[in-house]
């Protein structure tokens, strides 16, 4: 074999190895980002559920209002990890602060999934279970908006 052929084969093997290493690193990075966004979505949904309960069916109007409440509340029984604030929430979760809690109370729940719930959206990669607690926000809204719950 001549040197040129050996170099081509070696270069191809190295390029394949580099591509494989890059692919693995990309997958790990993507999975890590998706996990962080998942936790941010779950944390924000828990905080919003408790906010609705503590404010008799009202919905927060800004991140600032939600931040002040999370830093001052003692009522986060179900989700102690929500206590405190993280700027990571703002970077990873979009909240519709114009959402109407009475309209949320009308949404249908099927198998713990809420049809048409758009008050919380992930920003960036996320695992499918990011919406697993959204039904609790709807149920909290129904406690204060029962005429609109459609039950």
Cα–Cα distance measured from residue 151 to residue 125, given in angstroms and rounded to the nearest whole number: 35
User: How far are the Cα atoms of 11, 51, 69, 106 from residue 114, in angstroms, in the given order?
Assistant: 53, 19, 25, 10
Q: How big is the CA angle at 149 (ends 148 and 151), to the nearest 5 degrees?
A: 125
Task: Give residue 61's pLDDT.
Answer: 95
pLDDT in tens, 84-101: 567 888 899 999 999 999
Give me the pLDDT at residue 5, please: 86
Give the separation between CA 123 and CA 102, rounded to whole angstroms.
25
The per-residue pLDDT for range 24-78, each reduced to its tens digit, is: 999 999 999 999 899 889 888 888 998 999 999 999 999 988 888 776 655 554 4
Task: Over range 117-124, report the average pLDDT.
Answer: 92
Non-local CB neighbours of 123 within 8 Å, separated by 6+ positions: 37, 91, 92, 93, 94
């Amino acid at each position: 074999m001549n040197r040129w052929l050996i170099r081509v084969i070696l270069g191809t093997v190295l390029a394949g190895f580099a591509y494989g290493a890059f692919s693995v690193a990309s997958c790990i990075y993507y999975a890590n980002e998706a996990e962080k966004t998942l936790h941010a979505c779950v944390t924000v949904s828990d905080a919003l559920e408790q906010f609705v309960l503590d404010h008799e069916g009202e919905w927060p109007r800004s991140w600032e209002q939600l931040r002040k409440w999370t830093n001052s509340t003692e009522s986060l029984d179900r989700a102690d990890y929500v206590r405190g604030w993280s700027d990571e929430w703002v970077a990873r979760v979009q909240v519709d602060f114009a959402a109407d809690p009475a309209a949320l109370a009308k949404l249908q729940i099927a198998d713990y999934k809420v049809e048409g719930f758009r008050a919380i959206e992930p920003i960036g990669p996320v695992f499918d279970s990011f919406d697993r607690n959204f039904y609790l926000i709807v149920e909290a809204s129904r406690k204060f908006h029962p005429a609109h719950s459609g039950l």
